[in-house]
Amino acid sequence: MAEDALALADGLGWESFSLVGHSMGGKAAQQVLAQAPRRVRKLVGLARSPPVPIRWTPTETRW
């Protein structure tokens, strides 16, 4: 998602921009900031996911 956001900004010719991200989008916005810190003017993260990989433990579900 972060790479897509940076590619979009490049395609639009934006040298710098602000980001707003909610949940997983907040995590992606943080990744954009980590990859291109000089391009991000401001970042707002709303109820964001943690910026680290999330490890899921498979569980068996019975209906």
What is the 8-class DSSP label of residue 38?
T
Q: Where are the domains of the chain?
A: 2-46
Phi-psi group of 47: left, alpha or beta (phi > 0 → left; psi -120 to 50 → alpha; rest → beta): left
What is the share, in percent, of the chain residues with pLDDT greater than 70?
81
- Checking if the pLDDT of 34 tops 80, the result is yes
Residue type, 28: A
Predicted local confidence at residue 62, as pLDDT: 57
Indicate if the pLDDT at residue 23 is higher than 80: yes
Q: Taking 90 as the threshold, does the pLDDT of residue 56 lie above it?
A: no
Q: What pLDDT is recorded for position 61?
A: 61
pLDDT in tens, 38-50: 999 999 999 877 7
Can you give the pLDDT at residue 63?
Answer: 55
